[in-house]
Each structure stands twice: as C-alpha cells, then as structure tokens.
Amino acid sequence: MIRSSNPALSEKIFVKERAASSSEVMTIEGTKYKTMAMLALVVLGAVYTWRLASIGSPSVITWMMVGGIGGFITAIITAFSPRSAHITAPIYSVMEGLLLGGLSAFMAAQYGLGIITQAVGLTFATFFLMLLLYRSGTIEVTAKFRTGVMAATGAVALMYFISFIMSLFGVNLGYIHGGGTLSIIISLVVIGIAALNLTLDFDFIERSAAQGAPKHMEWYGAFGLMVTLIWLYIEFLRLLSKFASRD
C-alpha cells in the first residue's frame, strides 16, 4: 500500500488518477525535473520580496501576505484537483517564494545573512542525506514506519495549531518558540520528523511511478515533495534563530 504522511500525497488521490490515466505515465525522472522547476520558481519569488525588504519597501508585508494566503489556497486546490497541478503547483511555488523571501530577509536583518545560507545548506544536505539513506536501503519504508511518521507529523501539526490558538489570546508558549534548551530540543525533533517525511515522499513517488500513475501526476508528486522541503527550511530557520538569540 502506498502512503505518505504528507497530506498532499495520499493513496486515494493516486488510485483515482491512475484509474483515469492516459497512455502516458508518471516517471521518477519527470518528477525530478518538475521538482527542480518548482524550486527555481520558489527562488524567483523569494528574490522579489527579498529585494523589496532590502530597500525598506513597506509593500514587502503585503506581498508576504499574498504569498502566504495564495500558497495556502493553491495548495488546497492542488490537493483536491491533481489534474490542475501543472498550473497550481508552479503558482504555489511562486507564492511560497514570496513568503519565504520576505521572512528570510527579516531573519537576515535580525541575525545576519549567515542564518539564511546555513538554513539553505542544511535543508539541501538533509535532502541528499535522506535520499542516500533511502536509496541505499538503510531506511526501509515499512507500514509500521509510515504509521509512526504519520503519527509524529500529526502531533507536530497539533502542537503548532494549539500554539497558534493560544497566541490569539496573548499566551506565548516559550518552550516552543523561545531560545531555551527545551525549545531547541523540540525544534531538533521536529526537523527529524520533517526529514523522515522526505523518505516517505521518495517511496511514495517511486511506487506510484512503478504502478503507472498518469503523466500529470509528476507535477503533483513534485508539489508534495516541495511542501516537505519548504517545511524543512522553515524549521531550520527557526532552530538557527533560537541558537542566535542565545548569543
């Protein structure tokens, strides 16, 4: 059974789309190139809001909001309409880039440019490490492994949701967002869970391609993988900012 803890990559979606597939089928190579294209679009959007922030333009906040809301909407559309992924997935990338560019610029202004280069480097290093571990068979994606990662991912989502609700009432959960030892440990655990999600995504894409998912699902698979990479980058930024705030 194919399953990923990434909500964008559900078994039901691939089964449904495979049933309505054409003669062209999804390939790992095609998904790889589409992932690279989406990554380039994220960078393009990020450069725009980064430059706005660097010149002190007040419009950077507006563009970040557009990116955040637009990214959420296009993610929902993509999740429920995989056939539109060739349109919505690239738009999602640009939207997320707008958000990440502004966020990164503000973090760089507060903690120095090094925090951004470190977060980018750690994100890609983690990606290639998990790919190596997956391809070598060091990490075997079994049913129990999937269930464990899915449960852990759900717990993280619940933790952040509760934190958000509490913040609306002026309650700051310092053990999550502060610079204390417990907060850093929590960030490390979350990063570990995000990294494990990458192996589930690799396995999901590989198995789906092997089972003959339709060609347009390459965009959908790339979209799901990009969701995890963006999450991982944000978590590394969060962790590095905690270390920087302790200096």
pLDDT digits (tens, 9 = 90+) for 23-81: 689 999 999 999 999 999 999 999 999 999 999 999 999 999 999 999 999 999 999 99
Q: State both tokens at 20.
A: 């309505």
Residue 143 identity (one-letter amino acid): A
Mean pLDDT for the chain?
89
Q: State residue 181's pLDDT score.
A: 86
Give the whole-angstrom CA distance, residue 44 versus residue 120: 15
Structure-model confidence comparison of residues 19 and 13, the more confident one: 13
Give the whole-angstrom CA distance, residue 122 versus residue 128: 10
Mean pLDDT, residues 204-229 taken together: 92
Q: State residue 2's pLDDT score.
A: 38
The answer, as to whether pTM is greater than 0.85, is yes
Phi first, then psi, for residue 112 (nearest 5°) are 105, 155
Phi first, then psi, for residue 25 (nearest 5°) are -120, 160
Q: Which residue in 197, 203, 57, 190 sits closest to 140, CA to CA? A: 203
Q: Which residue in 200, 73, 78 sits closest to 142, CA to CA? A: 200
Mean pLDDT, residues 223-246 taken together: 93
Give the whole-angstrom CA distance, residue 219 versus residue 215: 8
Residue 109, exposed/middle/buried by CB under 10 A (0-12, 13-18, 19+)? exposed
3-class secondary structure, 135: helix
Give the whole-angstrom CA distance, residue 186 versus residue 192: 10
pLDDT, tens only, 89-104: 999 999 999 999 999 9
pLDDT, tens only, 174-190: 667 777 888 899 999 99
3-class secondary structure, 214: strand
Residue 8, exposed/middle/buried by CB under 10 A (0-12, 13-18, 19+)? buried
